[in-house]
Amino acid sequence: MSKFLDDDPTLSLKLSEVMGNIGIRKEIVLKRRRTYMLMETLDTITRRIQGKNITTYNLGSQSEGSTTVDLDSDIDTLFGYHYLNIILDCKEAKPRAENVLLVQDETTAPGHCYLQCEKPKVNFVCLIDKKYFHPYGKNKWLLKNTCFDEEVKFKYNRKKGPAHSFQGKVAYNDEDNVIAWHCKYWPREARRWTKDKGKGDWPTEDIRRECEATGCIIVPVSSKNSQYKDLEWRISTCLAERCLMFSLNVTQMRCYVLMKMIFKTVTEHTCSMVKLSSYVLKTVLFYCIENTKSCEWTENKLFDCLQRCLLYLETCIRKQNCSHFFIPGHNLIRGKDPTFYKGALMMLQYFTNSNGQFLLEISLDQLNKRLNEKMSMDLNSKMISPGIQQTETVSKIISGSLISHIAVQLNICHLLHLQLVHNSVQVAQNQLTKLNKIAINSSEKSLHRSVYKLIAPLMYSSLASAIASNEIERMEYISSFTSILFVIGSSSDVSSGKLKFASALYCSGDMYNARCLLEHIEQKYHKNFKNIKTVCSCSEKDEIKFEMTGFRAKCLTGNEELIKDITSFCVKFLPSEKNCIPNELRYEIYRSTANDKLYRKGTDTLWMDLAIVDSLPFMYFLQYKTYGRLKMAEKQKTALSNFATAITKELYLGHEETAYNLIGQCCEQENKPDTALDIYIESLKIRKKNNAANVLICRLISALVNKSFHS
């Protein structure tokens, strides 16, 4: 291999191929973007159905598609509140609206503002506690940037700038959440950008208009040297930046990802003092694209493009100024420690003078090994050295992760729906009516229609179960109308909707149809067992990372429509569905004493008042009960054995303690009280508080004492 990489005229093409191999290619980038746009639409629709005027935005590297497996970027989620009409001029005020004036003066830093309102109205004070207002002249008030603190302090572990963060499960990314106000107007400081043009032919007029139409986001954080830390807000153009990112070609994306990989490597292994945010690198990329003809951004010039960006960044470091792309007065690297500028310059000079050798120091995603191999072989060679992941393997890993993220988001949104419905069939029907209206008003190919196809079956299943519960209470059979609702709900995933139907059939006494449905579910499970992934977003229990090659291979073949065939959700029952819940599972609704509830945290408050169980154990439990009622002793024995195996060998159970509680009660019915007691104790080892095992142990001991006393 040549001593200097840039002596090789094919370096850019080989580097481009390597970046494609690790997932920075058009189809994977688009797949990432669709996933996160779908997730934000799903969350937004859920909130709108609940009557909340909030829009969810997934921003940053994950939603842009500008990340890799090893970069493992955080998920940046912004909740844009639309309760205020934030205006730039009093003439824009609307009657009967909460009008708030965006104010900038000599005391506000570039890209920052105050939010001024008249004397707060009653409904405004209800929305935001009056302690968050500061008097400002006669009958005028400024809204403090601490106004969201109460809303988030119980939800997140730590605060990082404007973001409230929490650590993700083992198999999922960490998440930064920002609550902010949405302003439909383009900021004054950025208006010049819509007219100014660089030397290149990007952004186009259409892209500029699209950026301006996004308005801006008012984020609750002040500038570093602000005189009024609690009053100043940052003006964010993050939605416009997303528009720009979505307009880039694949070479521009690869250049950006390479910069991130370089500086992550430097930060982690060489010099932590030169840490640069991806936001600064993105801004550098924007300036370079704006001032370079589009014909320069091609695969055979990738290394030159990277060098151009690094040289521009070096210029910014020398000047100690990197201007915000839309708001030039806002310096993104202002106030850095002198050691930062010195260290950054040294590193950038090394990159410039190394003639590309620094690329071979990047171990992220095996980039150094992949590039070294490419430089040693013919450009068109398909051979891959042992130890280097195949391109298809990387694509499967990414695709599996994306489908898992959608499934988890879907589960969370379903829990939010159930939390609102709780004991009311009418509320459930109203929610479905709202969802149907959204679907009707959406085009066939829109994300809204895709979201409807995901969430509607789950809602139909819960509604069907609640109606069936009322029918069973009236000593009636499950009606044909309710059965149709159950059938619609069965398409949510592999098992959960079908199991709710089977549970209702069992509780209504229809053992024959319950048996047939359960055997159908089991057949589908066994046929696709290696492809099916258990998905549960209820607790904060970490999911074990494990190889699911079949699941990942399936995920490579499509998008969110695969969820119904390759994921298995936990089965959720509301108290209003009590007559469709087997007696043994009903204990889970009453798992918590008043003291136990003090120990709940995070998403626990969403699911702990439900009867909820993983699909696979519940399927075998229902088989055990159904075969018992049908006097099919051998099949009942097999079902119990399969139940035990599912608990001990299933790779991930979100509600493991519930499965233990159910099999413990089966052991009681098998007249094995000692075994049952041991199982309940194991359940308590998994979850000490908020566990129905506490009740089951007391009940079992009481029964044993009474039996001993009477004998």
* pLDDT tens digit sequence for 35-64: 999 999 999 999 988 889 999 999 999 999
* pLDDT tens digit sequence for 92-110: 889 888 899 999 999 999 9
- Please give the residue that has the higher pLDDT: either 426 or 518: 518
Q: For domain 1-24+249-389, give its CATH number from 1.10.1410.40, 1.20.120.850, 2.40.30.10, 1.10.274.10.
A: 1.10.1410.40
> Which of the four pLDDT bands, split at 50, 70 and 90, describes residue 165?
very low
Pick from 341, 333, 347: nearest CA to 259: 347
Q: What's 292's DSSP letter?
A: S
Residue 138 to residues 76, 119, 135, 142, 313, Cα–Cα distance (Å):
39, 9, 8, 12, 47
Q: Average per-residue pLDDT in the chain?
A: 88
Mean pLDDT across 682-699: 94
Is residue 193 scored above 60 in pLDDT?
A: yes
Q: What is the pLDDT of residue 168?
A: 45
Mean pLDDT across 258-266: 91
Mean pLDDT across 22-30: 96
* pLDDT tens digit sequence for 416-465: 888 877 667 777 788 888 888 887 877 766 899 999 999 999 999 999 99
Cis amide leading into 386 (omega within 30) = no
Tell me how far apart the 2 most distant CA atoms of the chain are, in Å. 96
Mean pLDDT across 480-504: 96
* Element of type H or E holding 106: none
The SS3 assignment for 445 reads: coil
* pLDDT tens digit sequence for 202-255: 999 999 999 999 999 999 999 988 889 999 999 999 999 999 999 999 999 999
**Partners of residue 87 on adjacent β-strands:** 101
Q: Looking at 148-152, 516-520, 535-539, which range is the least confident one?
A: 148-152
- The domain limits of the chain are 1-24+249-389, 73-247, 393-587+597-650
Is residue 619 scored above 50 in pLDDT?
A: yes
> Which of the four pLDDT bands, split at 50, 70 and 90, describes residue 166?
very low
Q: Rounded to whole angstroms, how far apart are CA atoms 361 and 644?
A: 50
Q: What is the pLDDT of residue 157?
A: 46
* Phi, psi dihedrals of residue 204, rounded to the nearest 5°: -75, 170
> Which of the four pLDDT bands, split at 50, 70 and 90, describes residue 172?
very low
Is residue 595 scored above 70 in pLDDT?
A: yes
Q: What is the pLDDT of residue 638?
A: 97
Q: What is the pLDDT of residue 642?
A: 94
What whole-number percentage of the chain has pLDDT above 90? Answer: 63
Q: Rounded to whole angstroms, how far apart are CA atoms 658 and 92?
A: 56
Q: What is the pLDDT of residue 7?
A: 63
DSSP string for 388-421 = SPPHHHHHHHHHHHHHHHHHHHHHHHHHHHHHHH
- Please give the residue that has the higher pLDDT: either 553 or 545: 553
pTM: 0.90
In three state form, how does the secondary structure of 134-202 look? EECCCCEEEECCCCCHHHHCCCCCEEECCEEEECCCCCCCCEEEEEEEEECCCCHHHHHHHCCCCCCCC
What whole-number percentage of the chain has pLDDT above 70? Answer: 89
Mean pLDDT across 522-528: 86
Q: Looking at 12-16, 315-319, 649-653, which range is the least confident one?
A: 649-653
Q: What is the pLDDT of residue 148?
A: 87
Q: What is the pLDDT of residue 1?
A: 41
Is residue 565 scored above 60 in pLDDT?
A: yes
> Which of the four pLDDT bands, split at 50, 70 and 90, describes residue 123?
low
- Please give the residue that has the higher pLDDT: either 427 or 277: 277
- Please give the residue that has the higher pLDDT: either 526 or 269: 526
Is residue 2 scored above 70 in pLDDT?
A: no
Q: What is the pLDDT of residue 175?
A: 54
Pick from 607, 589, 481: nearest CA to 539: 607
